[in-house]
Chains A and B, each alone.
Chain A
Amino acid sequence: GAVVSQHPSRVICKSGTSVKIECRSLDFQATTMFWYRQFPKQSLMLMATSNEGSKATYEQGVEKDKFLINHASLTLSTLTVTSAHPEDSSFYICSAIKDRAMREQYFGPGTRLTVT
């Protein structure tokens, strides 16, 4: 199989603080990981593409200084939401691919972030 985990599943933080979300591929090495954001009843919006050992590629409109992505190894990518504000409250989902054929993305279970 191909399992991707995310931690934490839910987090509540105060405005102005930072939150780190981890995404791990448990039984395979992920050449590339993606971070998405999803608002209620809306589609998945790609935030950034993360490749191991290199800088993440951010989508237009996504602040790279606010959403820090680190792809430390072939099985771990982290997203840090810095100086969080209530408008950052959302469902954050990561996905990983095994190879560049990219026939299938394996999604993590998501992290529900609530900023108060």
Chain B
Amino acid sequence: GQSLEQPSEVTAVEGAIVQINCTYQTSGFYGLSWYQQHDGGAPTFLSYNALDGLEETGRFSSFLSRSDSYGYLLLQELQMKDSASYFCAVRAIDDKIIFGKGTRLHILP
């Protein structure tokens, strides 16, 4: 089967750094994406990794290790508005995008 594993919930303090991990097992792999979703809203694209290494976009960075089938999203200088659900997603065989179950990030003042 195909699966992505990520923690269900993470709590961090405003201004801190948090890392959300994602491990995957899929039929074929073309890239790992991260999406943010606020309650009641649609997912918005954050980042994409096709090759090993770290991609940085402002306060958010994403890492991929294809040999370990593992990636993470790193959020720095956390703000209250970052409270949301974060999904990792893999583009697998047949061009399907498979989403993880999501990590709910709680930020404390």
Contacts and interface: CB of A to CB of B under 8 A. Distances in A.
A100 B31 CA distance: 13
Output the residue of A42, A44, A102, A110 with the most chain B CB within 10 A.
A44
Interface of B: 30-31, 33, 35, 41-45, 48, 50, 87, 91, 95-102, 104
26 contacts: A32-B95, A43-B99, A43-B100, A43-B102, A44-B99, A45-B99, A46-B96, A46-B97, A46-B99, A49-B95, A49-B96, A93-B42, A100-B95, A102-B30, A102-B31, A102-B91, A103-B48, A104-B33, A104-B48, A105-B45, A107-B42, A107-B44, A108-B42, A109-B42, A110-B41, A110-B42
Interface residues of A, number: 21
Nearest to A4: B42
Given A32-B95, A93-B42, A107-B43, 16 more contacts: A41-B104, A43-B100, A43-B101, A43-B102, A44-B43, A45-B99, A46-B97, A46-B99, A102-B31, A102-B91, A102-B97, A103-B31, A105-B33, A105-B97, A106-B45, A107-B35
A44 B95 contact: no
A62 B99 CA distance: 17
A67 interface: no
Nearest to A94: B42
Given A43-B100, A43-B102, A102 B95 contact: yes
Nearest to A110: B42
Contacts of B35: 107
Contacts of B101: 42-43
A103 B45 CA distance: 10
A49 B93 CA distance: 13
A53 B35 CA distance: 29
Interface string A23-65: 0000000001010000001111110010000000000000000
> Closest 10 interchain pairs by CB?
A107-B42, A43-B101, A104-B45, A44-B99, A110-B42, A43-B99, A109-B42, A103-B48, A107-B43, A43-B102
